[in-house]
């Protein structure tokens, strides 16, 4: 049996340095109660009944004494990476102790992921709520831009029983 040398595979992307984002320090419950906690809607919460996600989170936060909440709503569509980072800075200038961004379903997923990364870089601990197939898009964006800090807890809509 002869040994054959296998040549390296040529990767057309070349060498890729991938940054590893250091997450912003997480806050205590007392800090969250003091607030403010920022809720960002990239306008996707206006579709279907997605806004119920924020309503439920806010209701559960209130049960824990987290009531100092500020809301922002603006589309990410048509914005460059630099525009998204600048908008994240505008949100961070409101001095939130934490942020929740939503919703990544498909089209807005990569752009809102860029904003979430920027919020973390600005020192604001952030959570980005996604739903399939947006979750997979976000994983890709985060992998190439910040390492791998995605914890997938996706929301989804079940098919109504009447359609089964």
Local confidence band at 16 (pLDDT 50, 70, 90 cut-offs): confident
Dump pLDDT digits (tens) for 94-143: 999 999 999 988 889 999 999 999 999 999 999 999 888 888 899 889 88
* Predicted pLDDT at 38: 98
DSSP state of 10: P
pLDDT above 90 covers a percentage of the chain that reads 60
Backbone angles phi, psi at 34, to 5 degrees: -70, -40
Strand pairing partners for 38?
70, 99
What pTM was computed for the model?
Answer: 0.83
- Domains of the chain listed by start with CATH number: 29-156 (3.40.50.2300)
């Amino acid at each position: 049996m002869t040994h054959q040398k296998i040549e390296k595979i040529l990767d057309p992307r070349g060498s890729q340095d991938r940054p590893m984002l250091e997450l912003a320090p997480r806050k205590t419950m007392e800090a969250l109660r003091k607030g403010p906690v920022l809720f960002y809607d990239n306008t996707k919460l206006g579709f279907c009944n997605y806004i119920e996600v924020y309503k439920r989170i806010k209701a559960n936060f209130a049960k824990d004494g987290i009531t100092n909440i500020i809301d922002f709503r603006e589309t990410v569509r048509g914005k460059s990476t630099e525009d998204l980072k600048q908008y994240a800075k505008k949100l961070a200038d409101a001095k939130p102790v934490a942020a929740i961004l939503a919703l990544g379903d498909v089209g807005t997923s990569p752009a809102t992921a860029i904003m979430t990364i920027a919020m973390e870089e600005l020192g604001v601990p952030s959570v980005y709520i996604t739903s399939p197939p947006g979750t997979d898009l976000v994983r890709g964006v985060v992998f190439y831009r910040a390492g791998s800090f995605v914890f997938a807890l996706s929301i989804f809509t079940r098919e109504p029983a009447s359609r089964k």
